[in-house]
Structure 1
Amino acid sequence: MSKVIANMSMSLDGYVADTADGIDQLFGWMGNGEVEVPTAVEWATFRMSPASAEYMRAALAGAGALVTGRHLFDITQGWGGTHPIGVPVVVVTHEPPADWPHDETFTFVDGVAEAVRVAAGLAGEKNVVVASAKIAQQCLDAGLLDAIDVDLVPVLLGEGVRWFENLAKAPVRLGDPTVIEGNGVTHLAYEVIRKA
């Protein structure tokens, strides 16, 4: 059964980017190992520890669609038309780009509920991955997330973009974590406990 999973690399003090939206301190684990993990794009082949590689291969194989926000889409310049996980991308935005040439793999919608609905249709039996701090917050508040996967990096950024800073419906209870130890990262997977 498919799930809606929020996934981010995060510092030990809860940040998913620095104050300039930089992520360099958070993604070193994707290149610090001996096992090669190719992606859907030539410019993003990972080299990870064996444990992280196994975790990443399972995540890539299970992903069927990605939901992101317009801010991340703009920062990455739409990943050049293909996201590294190689799945359809649904972008939440009030203003779709005027001349976006990659409409076959990118869909622009207004609102997180519609984005998750469209992404679920595109994903089929596979998972919908949410990769954006604000969109993940909105999905959690709307009861749309089934799981949260954290790639916890041993660094303290001190300030920046927090992943779940503005939750409207806190507290949110999570299940016991699945824990995978990699080099320079601890992968934590939590089920979201739905309120009765």
Structure 2
Amino acid sequence: MSRLTLKEAVRTSILSKKWKQLWKCYPKLVFTRCTMRKLGHQKPMRTRFIRGINSVLRQLKSTILCKFVVKFGLRERHRHHINRWVKFSAVLRTKHVVFDFCPGPKGSTDTDDRYSFPLDMFNASGGSYVKHLRLGFVSLTLPSDISGFKHLKKLYLHKVIITGNFGAYYQNALFLSG
């Protein structure tokens, strides 16, 4: 089951009653434009994308996630949903975390509408489990008392605005490799 994509795992639910619930323990959640169904036009597409993620997360029964990926052109106005996803990935001690909100080729590049990524959610719970963190088109305000991400091996930041002392953050990630 772990070698299947989420979409393939969900499709196995039609095989039998036993398999119907099995996909709900899937350890790798990848939500991108490609992994979601055809989404249609831009605004309803975002709405359907958000609803799709929320629907999967409501049904999920996993207690630990290996991978949680959200790659889609979302913004600060979607904060309510994104914050829940960030908290969800922190609580489930996800090792590989991706939140990439870079716009598509026709999307807005308005820097005032970037999602403010809440690093403090990972400080409170789950940050010490993250080994790979990828953030795109977000803004980061680094807290002075950063304590999470001690086992971080890979950090990838793309079009990220950083406020605060990045040096202190970098020093706390003892296993970070170049």
Q: TM-score, normalised by structure 1?
A: 0.25
Higher Cα radius of gyration: 2
Which one has more relative contact order, counting CA pairs under 8 Å at least 6 apart? 1
Name the structure with the higher helix share: 2
Name the structure with the higher strand share: 1
